[in-house]
Chains A and B, each alone.
Chain A
Amino acid sequence: MRAFLFDPYRLGFMSRARVEVVLLGTLGAVVGVHVALRRLAFVTDAVQHTVFPGIAIAYAVGWPLLPGAAAAAALTVGLLVMLTSGHRQFFRGAPPGPRVDFDSALAVIIASFFAVGVVVVSRRTGYAADLSTLLFGRILDVSRAEVVETAVIGGLCLVVLALLHKELVLLALDRTQAAAVGLPVRLLDAVLYAVTAATVVVAVRAIGTVLVVAFVVTPAATGRLLTKSIPGAMAAAAGVAAVLGWIGLSASYEASLNHDVRLAAGATVVIAYTLGFAAAGAARLLFRRA
């Protein structure tokens, strides 16, 4: 057990990967509880696809990937706020202007951004290999500088969430009340979208554009199964994410090295999260019956 949990991390790249996974897991868990309260899982999924063209273009031009991803994410948040402002009503009684509900707006944004990414990547040779790096990430390759970036951006996101905690929770639970007491509702929406987008952007490099949603959604849902209180759910989710991330990385290392089954590290961590959620769900069902 000790060998399983500690030995792999004597290697520099494994140790960096562990720090990165624990950081991202904690950040994703806290952001994820807000995302779950607001039912924004789709926004997370949207951003993880829309950063793809930003990364692809930055990669094609030879720029660092993070600013490219951040620009695409910012554009997504801007478009989303613009397309859906005041047009939540889809059918009768819709105000003039494009008839687009929230989910459809996201679908259009995802489809068009992702298509741009595919078109850009398809102009390059070595298409398939590049594409799969972008889609599946490369957690075992993170550098020290990237870990520091993750820590700084993640820390900023957590500070913003802590400062606006009361306001964001009120907004999530009772939008009308929040507007009535004079909170800047749309600005708070934009802040939460931006924090979610920033989380996806820092996670995308390590995890790839498709699995990021697991970091935000799954531990948070597990935390909510374990406790009703919101700070409690955040703490539980962060703990679950950190522990399962560690175990997932170890399992991927163990299987690849000693059992000759090569398991992709990022995907193994996501499977560990999913199994954790399944266990919490099963426990909950059993206790409810009893």
Chain B
Amino acid sequence: MSTVVDSFGQHFFRLALIEAVMVGAVAGAVGVHVLLRRLPFFVVAMSHATFPGVVFGSLLGVSLFAGGAVVGIAVALLVVALGSLRQIDDSSAIGIVLAGCFAVGVLVLSAQPGASRDLSAYLVGSIVTVNTADLVTTAIVGAVLLSVLAAFHKELVLGAFDPGGLTALGYPGRTLDTVVLVVVTVALVVCVPAVGTLLAVALLTVPALAARQWTDRVGPMTVLAAALGALSGVLGLCLSAAFDVAAGGTIALTATALFVVSAGVRTAAARS
């Protein structure tokens, strides 16, 4: 325990804590829309599909964040286009695109050895190395994402439950769907420095699912999901410092533990 207390005194650990809180809160809130629209597989796919963007970003020397975001958004549009083919169901479309994109990333990487250190940080996160610039990026992008969700809250929730009704009322349903996919993709890229692409799925689904166990209402669920996400970030980071294991993995496991507790309480309450 004393290692954790010592860690608080260190600058890098305080930066990491702030990052964990922000990422957890943003991902938790966005995660509610992932659940409402049943997008978990899309999130998993994006976590792989942004990979070539990051590889290119790393080779060209531009920010990994920008590379991942650009390719991620392009891929999201490709999935929408492929899914409109009649023979291909959405889930196959997502599978094809994710594997294809990931393979491109691996190929480029295998042709250009030497980048693998950066890459494993990308895949599993490296929260203790975040710097002030990263924190500012996370804060700004997170604020933009949350404002978009707040501004279109009513329309997005209606679209999730009753897409036909939304279109009938004259809203541009397709555009709103695309907005959600873009928000989710950007949120995923924001999580990458903290937990890595592969575990970002955890932050984007598990806290929201845990919050879902406590309430039926979308508003309180969003607030609770953000709180649980932030809590997972802080607890996970402290546990990883205490036991000297990877921070990304520990944060994801903490979120899972919160879900298991929530589901357990709910089951017990329903039985009594």
Q: Which residues of A contact B (CB under 8 A)?
A: 36, 39-42, 44-45, 49, 90-91, 96-101, 103-104, 106-108, 110-112, 114-119, 121-123, 127-129, 131-132, 135-136, 210-211, 213-214, 216-218, 220-221, 224-225, 261-264, 266-268, 270-271, 273-274, 277, 281, 284
Contact = CB atoms under 8 A, between A and B. Distances in A.
Nearest to B196: A118
The 10 lowest CB-CB distance pairs between A and B, nearest first, are: A96-B270, A111-B202, A214-B99, A122-B246, A217-B95, A118-B249, A115-B252, A274-B100, A264-B110, A270-B103
B38 A114 contact: no
A263 to B, nearest CB: 6
Contacts of A264: 106-107, 109-110
Interface of B: 35, 38-41, 43-45, 48, 82, 85, 87-92, 94-96, 98-100, 102-104, 106-107, 109-111, 113, 116-117, 119-120, 123-124, 196, 198-199, 201-202, 205-206, 209, 212-213, 216, 244-246, 248-253, 255-256, 259, 263, 266-267, 270-271
A268 B99 CA distance: 11
Given A103-B41, A107-B201, A225 B87 contact: yes
16 contacts: A36-B92, A39-B92, A90-B35, A99-B266, A100-B209, A103-B40, A104-B38, A104-B40, A112-B256, A114-B249, A214-B103, A224-B87, A261-B111, A268-B107, A271-B107, A273-B100
Contact of A271 (B100, B113, B271): B100
Contact of B267 (A39, A49, A98, A112): A98
B110 A263 contact: yes
Contacts of B263: 98, 100
Contact of A210 (B35, B48, B90, B119): B48
A37 B218 CA distance: 33
A204 B206 CA distance: 26
A104 B100 contact: no
Contact of B213 (A99, A128, A220, A274): A99
A211 B102 contact: yes
A74 B245 CA distance: 26
Given A98-B263, A264-B110, A116 B48 contact: no
Contact residues of A: prevailing secondary structure = helix
Given A111-B255, A271-B100, A122 B117 contact: no
A117 B124 CA distance: 11
A101 B38 contact: yes
B209 A104 contact: yes
Contact of B256 (A40, A115, A221, A267): A115
Contacts of B95: 41-42, 44-45, 213-214, 216-218, 221
Contacts of B99: 210-211, 213-214, 217-218, 270, 273-274
Given A44-B95, A213-B98, A218-B99, A108 B259 contact: yes
A39 B113 CA distance: 37
A184 B211 CA distance: 35
Most buried by B among A100, A118, A217, A277: A118
Given A96-B270, A263-B110, A118 B246 contact: yes
Given A44-B95, A218-B96, A118 B209 contact: no
B103 A98 contact: no
Nearest to A45: B44
Nearest to B252: A115
Given A41-B91, A45-B98, A281-B85, A99 B106 contact: no
